[in-house]
Structure 1
Amino acid sequence: MKYNPHSRILIYAEGEFGRGHSKTAEGMIRYGKNPIVAVVDSTREEKNVAEVLGIGAHIPFVRSISEALTLEPNALLIGVAPRGGGLPPAWRKDLLFALEHGMDIINGLHFMMEEDPEFAQAARRHNRIICDVRRSPDHLPVGAALAAGVPAQIVLTVGSDCVVGKKTTVIELERLANQQGRKAIYIPTGQTGIMIAGFGIAIDRVIGDFMSGAAEKLILENAPGHDLILVEGQGSLLHPGYSGVTLSLIHGSMPSHMILCHQPTRKYIRDSKILIPPLKEIAALYEAVTLPIKKAKVIGISLNCFDLTDEQALKEIEKIEALTGLPTTDCVKFGAQKLLDAINWAR
């Protein structure tokens, strides 16, 4: 990453914070290393982020970038991941304003701001940096199942759908595993994870022939010195729009084990009318796809119960454990110990 890890960040989430497309903003607030001065969302009546997210009481909402200037941000992070990753035309003037007022831009969209003449000229004129996080490295390999020979335990998060907590699960597992003596590393494969960890490849931006090779490259480069590789999953085999990146991560990372992530209150695949099948069927699908190259089992279930009370979440956990026979938890509400125990037992 070429942006300063000490930059004072202003998160731009206009009209979207806490409404389903602000996972980058929420991920950075929960796990990012940079100080965050405020979140821009003029549609939020709440005073601070904690009133929406449950954490971040020190992070206020502001109605505009200009209102945040007194907080002295020196980087604007685009905290929204809209479907398709394009740049909404209404954002352009705000992003130019940020460049003109001394802020670098940290951009996780598919839209490459550095390639846009207006943004590039503004950045040069004001001596600012544009960091297009999703930009793919050159000379990526074609996947060759080389990660199958890595001696470390490789655990991949997979999903019943997209945006169900695959990144959150591996981050929580990495922290806990290292506290308890494992030599664990989290492998970021999406823009938010890259912003948090400072390295990685956004697999969904890579040309199709090289997607599994990009995942393989990440494994091979980061495995030395570690006995637990925790790979951030993307998309879902069930999602008609994002299944390609999911399959590429399975074949590229060659997991020894998988954690299935799911939001219990979600009944349909996102942005569709496709019903989500029973979790046992989904687990069997993922296990079948790993064959015949390297057999991998789903060994636990990570629930995203953000929209449930703790009591309701515990009931869902009990129900799903009974239905699947697999250890189940919500890593944010109740910690990742159940899943780490399953990983250690399967080692």
Structure 2
Amino acid sequence: MRVAILAHEKFPDRAKTALGVLRYADYDAAAVLDRESAGDRVSDYVPDVQDAPIVEGMADLEADDLDALLIGIAPIGGDFDESWREDVRTALEYGCDVISGLHYFLEDDEEFAALAAENDCDLWDVRKPSDDLTVADGVAGDVDAEVILTVGTDCSVGKMTVSMELARDAREAGYDAAVIPTGQTGIMIEGWGNPIDRVVSDFTAGAVEEMIVEKGDEYDYLFVEGQGSIVHPAYSAVTCGILHGAMPDKLVLCHVAGREAIHGYESFPLPPIESYVDLYEDLSAPVSEAPVVAGAINTAHLEDEGARQAVDEYADDLGAPATDVIRYDTDDLLEALLE
């Protein structure tokens, strides 16, 4: 599928969905839409993902060259920005499907629904959960696969990226591994999954368990994409739901180098790294004895010397192997996780 990716005024730093799709999905990227960077290329900003031109809007692209428009931004709250309406409208008039990971459902927008019907287009609201979800039965721990969950010191620390990188590297090393996608970006990449942050609270653990049970006997290792953080004042509930629903065997703690406060909630400082280990392990223990056996740290904003120092300090704080999964190899982590 050939797609345009909407990332207005956010690419690349605040367009993690766009970056995830460019890095891991099978889509062929025709262009990224970003009014502020129009005329540049993706490779001018991020060299290790699929390259594409950056254009001002859908009107700069040819209808015959596209299959879909993908909204590559996941703002806090998941709202639809009205400045995007013209691009979505143009995409539908071109006959393109529209893929969205927002909490605002495009199929409930009267204008978009009418245009989609008129032009035979699909509106895929990735964050719209299935109607048949139920409470958990507490059986995820019974599957044959080893379940590995990424957890975080905060939201937006790279849990999806770490899950994707570890699963990919495990497969390349000859292991039978899969990703369990729980967020909009992971679902777009994998083409399936449950959007856990949109699920009714009572069904959160059940939605994760359902995916574990579905894939648990097909693979030897399942890498579950974590969400939020157990200390987050807004998103801790989804973190706990995933932790208990997955009943993991091992945990990977993800962090951003130098971050000292909750992103978007800066009055809440991050606890010491060591306390996260106790928090996650103690919370998991009643349903699954899952130790933190490895760490992943995002050092994208640091120079090489500072990045290596940050990795080493993080490993010392954890008392476990750690790495930046984009910057360095994952051999030490896989050794700890797949032994």
Which category of TM-score, normalised to the shorter sequence, fits these structures?
A: over 0.9
Equivalent position to 1:31, from 24, 35, 40: 24
Deviations 1:254-304 (A, max 9, x none): 001100000012111010121111111111100010122221100010011
Is this contact kept in 2: 1:14–1:42, CA < 8 A? yes
Equivalent position to 1:162, from 155, 158, 163: 155
Question: Which residue in 1 is equivalent to 2:137?
Answer: 144
Instruction: Tell whether 2:253 aligns with 1:264.
Output: no
Equivalent residue of 1:317, what SS? helix
Cα distance, 1:111 vs structure 2: 1.0
Question: Which residue in 1 is equivalent to 2:85?
Answer: 92
Equivalent position to 1:310, from 272, 279, 304: 304
Question: Which residue in 2 is equivalent to 1:4?
Answer: none
Deviations 1:287-342 (A, max 9, x none): 01012222110001001111112322111111122232210100111022111011
Instruction: Tell whether 2:73 aligns with 1:73.
Output: no
Is this contact kept in 2: 1:48–1:56, CA < 8 A? no
For normalisation by structure 2, the TM-score amounts to 0.96
Is this contact kept in 1: 2:22–2:50, CA < 8 A? no
Question: Which residue in 2 is equivalent to 1:288?
Answer: 282
Matching of residues 180-191 of structure 1 within 5 Å: 180-191=173-184
Is this contact kept in 1: 2:205–2:242, CA < 8 A? yes
Is this contact kept in 2: 1:310–1:333, CA < 8 A? no
Number of residue equivalences: 338
Matching of residues 173-322 of structure 1 within 5 Å: 173-272=166-265, 273-322=267-316
Aligned-residue Cα RMSD (Å) equals 1.4
Is 281-290 or 174-183 further displaced after alignment?
Answer: 174-183
Opposite residue 162 of structure 2, the aligned amino acid is T
Deviations 1:174-208 (A, max 9, x none): 11112222211111011110111111111011111
Is 312-321 or 61-70 further displaced after alignment?
Answer: 61-70
Specify every segment of 5 or more residues in structure 2 that has no aligned partner in the other structure, as ranges: none
Residue 264 to residue 12, structure 1, CA distance change in 2 (3 Å):
same
Residue 109 to residue 320, structure 1, CA distance change in 2 (3 Å):
same
Matching of residues 4-43 of structure 1 within 5 Å: 7-20=1-14, 22-43=15-36
Deviations 1:134-188 (A, max 9, x none): 1111211201211122232110000000011111111111111122222111110
Alignment partners' CA distance in 2, 1:168 and 1:124: 35
Opposite residue 81 of structure 1, the aligned amino acid is A
Cα distance, 1:56 vs structure 2: 4.4
